[in-house]
Chain A
Amino acid sequence: MSRENDGFEFHPTGLQRFLDAAYRVINVFVRWDRLPMLMAAINFAAFRDRLRARNLHHTGYGVPSAGKWKPGYERWRSADGSYNCLAHPRMGMAGTRFARNIPLAEGVPETGEALLEPSPRLISRELLARHEFIPATKLNLFAAAWIQFEIHNWFSHGAPEIGNEFKVPLPPGDSWPENVNGCMHIQRTAPDTSKREPWLGATPTFQNFNSHWWDGGQIYGHDHPTQMKIRSKRDGKIKFDGDMLPEDLPDRPGIDFTGFNDNWWIGLSVLHTMFAREHNTICDGLKLNYPEWDDEELFQRARLINGALIAKIHTTEWTPGILGHPALDFGMHAQWSGVPYRWMRTLLGEDNEVAHGIPGSETDQHSAPYAMTEEFTAVYRMHPLLPDTVRIHSLDKRKHKPKTFDFLRVQGKETRQLMKDHGFANVLYSLGIANPGAMRVRNYPNFLRQFQKDMPLKKAKGPLSREAKLPLMDMAAIDIMRDRERGVPRYNRFRELVGKKRVTSFEEITSIPGIAQKMREIYKDDVDRVDLLVGLLSEDLPEGFGFSDTAFRVFILMASRRLKSDRFFTDDYRPEIYTEFGLDWIRNNSMKSVLLRHFPELGPALEGVKNSFSPWNVVA
């Protein structure tokens, strides 16, 4: 209803209404992935419009006001994401609430025993634990690092609440080391203590401590003080310590200082370093073209350009990489730069986002103010992409022999030393030729199922606390609990709410041998109880897909929304804001060109590789 959605309403065009009706009929007989390529791509547009009308639900902003307006916000992004929407300055800023992709009344967590039933720990052991590594052979490990890099741009629920943990009963025979009276403790998500609007009903709300916008916040920070700390304050550039980002001393030794450096590992280190270098290269280009610009102007313009390049790479390379279906490849390129057919452009008209791409089209929030959603967070639980070990190779085999490290040795405080020992190009090459794990059940990395962070706990709103100690974590069990505590529906209802039919049996979900039977045992023959994560990881996939079609429905909606709602990708995606140099930079660059610019020694490994997120050449 519009009153809860801050006045935003979706107004479908006649063509959108027609396509919606037509594809409702078509999809009764043929699933989208079995349609001819162009028809399937148009099917996505029909899905997307349906979701835009029904699956955007505002939960209030949760912050009383945006910060003070500063000159420059009209032409560049504020650090915390405020004033992106000039009429609604709080929209998408850091600290505002996650929205929902389901009606608010559907997002109410279960209570009492039902919340812990079946035991998340049992699910972790029986359905998620990796028995043997199942690789995603069409992708490389660099793609896994990339998605974490992006997630750190989009959202963070902050550090969990201390005390009042969930007490998850341990199954008989479970040797969990931190057994407290037969239970495993799981901390709760940091509560949102802001004033609740009366229309929220029973839906819990949570704050996103990052800016919701696609603004490169993982590099540039989500607040002004952090942003100032990462800057060299000369020529708009980011501060470097030799060829590395500075170390985050004294709080996080061994970890790079950057906009967002939680859950640090070598994959994040190479990406952050590379895109910080890219920023500085863009600054050089801007300074050549606009020598009169000061440090602030150069920094902010380069930030815009770099952020948009990252968004383009994600849209046109990473997504078609993980969702390897021709219609998806067509659709994602169309989303960025429009359809390649002139007749279609003419037919759809000048302002049409499908014809000409979202960048440069008109800003539209559709039926709710823009915000990341809890459901989007839920479908982005992609921990199975991580392997339990990483093999580090050398581009020059004469110098180093490949060496295999447990994942724990390439993360946290070990990261910087490992980068120094092996060098960025070798680490990148190693990630480029290795496969990540497949997004399937029984492929959850075991190191994450008994994991203790070695960094100080960052309190949700307070300063770093050195005394606080994170408990031992089973991330698989935590992933299950997070969806439950935030009121994300279980798998079957989630399907229904994103426009798919409910399943009536476990066999309808999966044909993976033994899984349907195991689910039946764990969920006591009740298919409606299957947890979302379990369903998503079990679901039979469309041809070429790296994750489930159910999760994909949320992607269709949110991937385009990140662009379409953002003034800097739509109304303000123009030379006056980005400069001609900037728009050319975005147009002419790709993941491969960025990699080769900063690490030219990767040339042989990338020769002939069409998508940098697919496995690279093994250099003999």
Chain B
Amino acid sequence: MAMRITIPGIIRLAWLTDPDEVIAANDSGVVQRSLSGLGGLVQRSIAAKLAVFRTADGDIWPAFRDRADPLRTMSQSELEKALADTRGLLKRVAPETGAIATYIRSGSTNRPPEITVQQMVGRLFFPDYAASEESYDAARALQTWISGGPIKSYLLKCSGELERALDLIITLARGNTSCAHATAIAMENIVEAIERMRRLAQTSDNLEKLSPQEAIAATLRAPKQVVRETRDGGRVCGTHLGARTLVVLRLETARRQKPEAGIEFFAKGWNQCPAHAIVPALLAEVWKKAKADKA
């Protein structure tokens, strides 16, 4: 059952937490990915935040492209194909998975693990991708821009840090917006999963006992939430959503209720994450290596 808030002129919001509702909303033609900024001041502010995810010539980052966008379909299937060779990719990022495995096992590492994760993700696109403190700070700045409060966002924008971060991420990604998205936003989910893995590994004899699949099940989460918008009113899973409602899909809450639904990657949905196979494979590899190191 959706929770709603409507304050005319300020916000019209619906939270969906039920897994069936979340999946139905994601698939529904009533709910769109691109935000118009209409419907209230909050909508306007969120739409303005997401509007920055474009390249200098206006290319839209893939996660913000609409369902019917032919470039989304194309880039999604191209990326899916590029990430399908898990064995080859795992070989390519073996140094990074090894370093992360060491971190999981020992709790310490020469290089901050989040930078290693960013480099690992980047190298899935370009074998010579090199992450650094600056590139990870840029990714954090973009994450803060999306999820931070108004004051933090204002400071990011006014200081020019937001623009610098966007420029750096896009430059490192060589203009490839899928790579930019992966190395700036999507990677954070892997960073969090690695941190959970470390905690898991250091608790009792989990590292010996748990299989990679069990470790993944215990540590991989869905993104906390994604936002969508209804352009016109309509029904989603029996719930009527008014026009210009900001629809918040609480993915992690929904996933916890129905883990088999594949909500973390929108499995089998139109927007199925192209990394749906490689991410579990990377985490499994890391866990396997950590296990092997320990042995």
- Chain A positions within 8 Å of B, measured between CB atoms, are 1, 3-4, 103, 105-106, 108-112, 114, 196-199, 201-202, 489-490, 492-493, 496, 502, 526, 528-529
Contacts and interface: CB of A to CB of B under 8 A. Distances in A.
Count chain B CB atoms within 10 A of each CB in A109, A201, A529 and give the residue with the most.
A201
B68 A199 contact: no
A114 B27 CA distance: 13
Contacts of B119: none
B34 interface: yes
Contacts of B58: 1, 3-4, 197-199
Contacts of B69: 201-202
Count chain B CB atoms within 10 A of each CB in A4, A106, A108, A492 and give the residue with the most.
A108
B57 A490 contact: no
B149 interface: no
A493 B56 contact: no
B88 interface: no
Interface stretch (B76-84, B155-163, B231-239): B231-239
B272 interface: no
B220 interface: no
B65 interface: yes
Contacts of A3: 54, 56-58
A60 to B, nearest CB: 10
B36 A202 contact: no
B57 A108 contact: no
Contact of A202 (B54, B65, B231): B65
Nearest to B51: A1
Nearest to A198: B59
A199 B232 contact: no
B243 interface: yes
Contacts of B67: 202
B124 to A, nearest CB: 22
Given A198-B71, A202-B67, 4 more contacts: A3-B54, A198-B59, A198-B60, A202-B69
Contacts of B11: none
B9 interface: no
Contact of B234 (A109, A496, A528): A528
Interface string B43-56: 00000000100111
Contacts of B59: 198-199
Contacts of A201: 34, 60, 65-66, 69, 71
B142 interface: no
Nearest to A115: B29
Contacts of A199: 54, 57-60
B231 A112 contact: no
B29 to A, nearest CB: 5
Nearest to B59: A198
A528 B230 CA distance: 11
Contacts of A106: 36, 231
A128 B221 CA distance: 53
A467 to B, nearest CB: 32
B232 A528 contact: yes
Contacts of B71: 196, 198, 201
A615 to B, nearest CB: 41
15 contacts: A3-B56, A3-B58, A105-B34, A109-B68, A198-B59, A199-B58, A199-B60, A201-B60, A201-B66, A201-B69, A202-B67, A490-B232, A492-B232, A492-B243, A528-B232
Contacts of B150: none
Contacts of A196: 70-71
Nearest to A528: B232
A344 B231 CA distance: 42
Contact of B68 (A111, A490, A493): A111
Contacts of A502: 243
Contacts of B34: 105, 201
